[in-house]
Amino acid sequence: MSLLEVEGVTVAFGGLRALDGVSMKVEAGKVTALIGPNGAGKTTLLNVVSGILRPVRGQVRFRGRDITGWPQHKVASLGIARTFQDLQLFGNMTVREHLLVGRYRLTHTSLVEALLRLPRHFREERESRKAVDALLARLGLSDVADWPVNALPYGKQRLVGVARALALEPALLLLDEPTAGLSGTEAEEVGQLLGLLAREGLGVLLVEHHVGLVMSYCDWVVVLDHGLVIAQGVPEKVQSDPHVIEAYLGEEAA
């Protein structure tokens, strides 16, 4: 059984079909890339999986469970985390505070317990800070942990967005163009991180325009064009597919 299964998903905005019968899978321990020209429907598909949009047809299954149309908070509670094209960070909050927010679904302290400062509140707070400090160290963010995020360079802000998603301890990580605006070296570091996470068992679904990263670090590639899946397979196969070349370069498929 695949970690994530998308079957026949269709999304329409008025008369426009942003997705038209899309089917694909994501396996645990694999990095799956979702690529295609601008407007192909890539972000729309992430929005369906993460609960932002409800499809007019089709199903989304996570670990065999139908989660089609579930609200975002319920989807996140299952262990599905995502980042966005725009960073959506909280300006003056520190890097550490962002990661603590990311761990919210893992805590069970009630408002009353927090207000009364009961033992579970302190225990979970200690556990969260310990886990966050370990994640900060792993991603090389310890030295800026107490900086407000808006004081960081853009590349570090991108990494904070990924770190916040990882703080949720997800089984499936959805990334929407995580290397946008990054230098070649920074993008390479993101690729290396994704490869490491996948080897540890995390499933990754990645929307990405950085072809070199996709070819080097992704295990499976799904290509969308005008809301349709036009190709999928291992990177080497997809890269040479004439329909993919046509979609990207405007060259007529043989």
pLDDT for position 128: 87
pLDDT for position 149: 95
Residue 109 lies in a domain: no
Residue 14 lies in a domain: yes
Residue 198 lies in a domain: yes
pTM of the model: 0.90
The secondary element (H helix, E strand) that includes residue 47 is helix 42-49
Largest Cα span, the chain: 70
The secondary element (H helix, E strand) that includes residue 174 is strand 172-176
Query: What single-letter DSSP state applies at residue 253?
Result: P
Residue 121 lies in a domain: no
Residue 124 lies in a domain: no
Residue 100 lies in a domain: no
pLDDT (tens digit, 0 to 9) for every residue of the chain, 254 residues total? 899 999 999 999 988 999 999 999 999 999 999 999 999 999 999 999 999 999 999 999 999 999 999 999 999 999 999 999 888 898 889 999 999 999 887 776 676 666 667 677 667 788 889 999 999 999 999 999 999 999 999 999 999 999 999 999 999 999 999 998 899 899 999 999 999 999 999 999 999 988 889 999 999 999 999 999 999 999 999 988 988 888 875 655 44
Total count of domains within the chain: 1
Domain that holds residue 234: 4-79+170-249
Residue 92 lies in a domain: no
SS3 at position 104 = helix
Burial class (CB in 10 A: 0-12, 13-18, 19+), 134: exposed
Give me 120's structure tokens.
């579970």
pLDDT for position 132: 96
Residue 22 lies in a domain: yes
Q: What angle do the packed helices 154-167 and 184-199 form, to 10 degrees?
A: 10
CATH for 23: 3.40.50.300
In this structure, are residues 81 and 172 in contact, taking their beta carbons and an 8 Å threshold? yes
